[in-house]
Copies of this chain bind each other. A is one copy, B any other.
Amino acid sequence: MSKILRVNMTDQKVKSEDVPEKYRLIGGRGLTSAITCDEVPPTCHPLGPNNKITFAPGIVTGSGAPTAGRLSVGCKSPLTGGIKEANSGGIASDKLARLGIKAIIVEGQPKDKGKFWVLKVNKDGAELMPAEAGWLGNGLYEAYPKMLKKFGEKVGIISIGVAGEMLMSMAGICVNDPENRPSRYAGRGGVGAVMGSKGLKAIIVDETGGSSVSLADSEAFNTGRKKLTDALRQHDITKPGGTLNTYGTAALVNVINEAGAFPTRNFSSGRFEGASKISGETINETCKKRGGVGATGHRGCTGCIIQCSNVYPKEDGTELVSCQEYESVWSLGANCGIDSLDVTGELVRLCNDYGLDTIEAGATIGVAMEAGLAKFGDGKKAIELMHEIGKGTPLGHILGGGAALTADTFGIVRCPTVKRQSMPAYEPRAIKGIGVTYATSTMGADHTSGYTIAPEILGVSGKMDPASKGVEKAEASRNFQYATAFIDSSGHCLFIAFAILDIPSGLEGMVEECNGVLGTNWTVDDVGRIGGDIVKMERAFNEAAGFTNVDDRIPEFMKYEMLPPHNVVYDVPDEVLDKVHNP
């Protein structure tokens, strides 16, 4: 039977608890958010003893469902001051699920500051042990092999880097990929700092002796699994040899740049003259040209049939980094005026090594360039700034605190954040609906929480004019936010959304998989209801933490600074924004 592990860092005790009835039919984000809401005082200090951090596989993780290996991480965010759920691919979540672990709740705080532990989880239970010196203070490319040597090559590792050890608000939590790189991240909102504040360096998951998640209705599951698999294999974006498999997420670079919505040089333009040099097409060509280990269509996560990852090679064909995502080549590229994949690759590698959210990192370097700490386009200096973070210098602590902290420190007004979390790679002035999501998400600026880009740009689930600013944008954002909360709870990667939005049987398949695991009788109509309940619960947490609709706004500068090339401002009325959560 599945269980919840409760890890108390104050006295280093680990307890195994039965899963309460109210948590039985939920997983992933639905579960981590529920535990945060139930157990964390909304006004507590995010790095203090009263915050908790929860890790959970999704409902169908570990069941053999396709592309369903997400690990959800939930807590109160030191970046936003509100609730936070970030989720990661990699290999650890599947292993947790196969050990029958529904969630791990980490609470309390050790008395000794600066001391770190590792939680070892296997079929016999879990125990805390002191982190060894060699695992701390170094990059994860150095620490991971050492941990693997200690615990075996087949364990899942859920770990913070030095940024998390130093409590920086842009610290993420890293999960190893199938080839044991430190490359997959629950990146956003400073979840790594919360893990660091608990004195927890890593969770090691050894699934030896574990087994596939038990099914309440294997027929429903198998039917659903087949429907979803077929849909994923059929949709142009997710099919083998399709867009994601061939070009990776960076396939978006040229598309969004063409739309004039590719934030450039700290959100001062929507078009980057160097976009084609950092595009998915160029990644693909470079992998082919340089050969060696270079590859697109790489699998970064257990059980993934989309395989959107890549291994980007150096000139000599050896590995520079895996992987160069759309968000990363944008944030560390265009947003810093940098048009070299070799530079963005090095910057991504450093983010992976130090344990940083690449979106927040690039947005922050953009703000730092605005503040005069480097010139836009100066890749060498951008790399130096990243090393400041790793070294934990005062400047590194500023940058490690994220874009909003950096802007506050240097008095920069052009700060592209909502709820103090930096915006991803879509300019809300040019694509209004994604701005509605940025403004109203419970997570701060976040594209994944309500990806209206699908209809506004990609023609997925219908078409919407990106420039329209009426109540239809509030409705679209709400629908996406609710559906996303369900997908994030199921354990599937959000990239199944393209297929399930366009192919009705795919959506049915996702729901039937859940029914198969849980024994429920959900229909596709339940997706919005269940997802909506999760979003409302998260929002109630934020309200209790002091958020109001004033926090559901795009930064003021976007309302008076015109964005080239289309010379647009953000002009979605506040009333439309308020309609998202008050229909």
Contacts and interface: CB of A to CB of B under 8 A. Distances in A.
A116 to B, nearest CB: 14
A20 interface: no
Interface stretch (A241-249, A294-302, A394-402, A532-540): A394-402
B553 A43 contact: yes
A406 to B, nearest CB: 10
Interface in A358-412: 393-395, 397-398, 401, 405, 408-411
B44 A556 contact: yes
Number of copies: 2
Given A395-B394, A398-B397, A550-B43, A409 B405 contact: yes
Interface string A35-77: 0000000011101111000000000000000000000000000
A373 to B, nearest CB: 8
A167 interface: yes
Contacts of A544: 550
A413 B560 contact: no
Contacts of A193: 411
Contacts of A14: none
Contacts of A408: 169, 401, 405
Contacts of A548: 546, 548
Nearest to A46: B413
A166 interface: yes
A285 interface: no
Contacts of A162: none
Contacts of A393: 394
Assign chain A's interface to a size class.
35 or more
Interface string A530-562: 000000000000001111101101011100100
A197 interface: yes
B397 A45 contact: no
A168 interface: yes
Contacts of A557: 45, 48
A47 B411 contact: yes
A541 to B, nearest CB: 12
A408 B168 CA distance: 9
A370 to B, nearest CB: 11
Contacts of A167: 410-411
Given A43-B556, A408-B169, A551-B546, A48 B413 contact: yes
Contact of A556 (B48, B547, B551, B556): B48
A43 B50 CA distance: 31
A280 B501 CA distance: 73
A8 to B, nearest CB: 16
A194 to B, nearest CB: 10
A569 to B, nearest CB: 14
Contacts of A78: 411
A545 to B, nearest CB: 7
A566 to B, nearest CB: 22
Contacts of A405: 405, 408-409
A223 to B, nearest CB: 48
Contact of A197 (B49, B196, B411): B411
A346 to B, nearest CB: 23
A484 B196 CA distance: 44
Nearest to A551: B546
Interface string A426-454: 00000000000000000000000000000
In this complex, which of A47, A167, A393, A410 has the most chain B Cβ atoms within 10 angstroms of its Cβ?
A410
Among A44, A196, A409, A410, residue most surrounded by chain B Cβ atoms (within 10 Å): A409
A550 B560 contact: no
Contacts of A168: 411
A411 B411 CA distance: 20
Contacts of A45: 413, 555-557
The 10 A-B residue pairs whose C-beta atoms are closest, nearest first, are A167-B411, A546-B550, A394-B395, A48-B413, A397-B409, A394-B394, A45-B413, A45-B556, A546-B548, A401-B409
25 contacts: A45-B555, A45-B556, A47-B411, A47-B413, A48-B413, A48-B556, A78-B411, A166-B411, A167-B411, A168-B411, A196-B411, A197-B411, A394-B395, A394-B409, A395-B395, A397-B409, A397-B410, A398-B398, A398-B409, A405-B405, A405-B409, A409-B409, A544-B550, A546-B548, A546-B551
Interface of A: 43-45, 47-50, 78, 166-169, 193, 196-197, 393-395, 397-398, 401, 405, 408-411, 413, 544-548, 550-551, 553, 555-557, 560
Given A167-B410, A544-B550, 11 more contacts: A43-B550, A43-B556, A44-B556, A45-B413, A166-B411, A196-B411, A397-B409, A405-B409, A545-B550, A546-B547, A546-B551
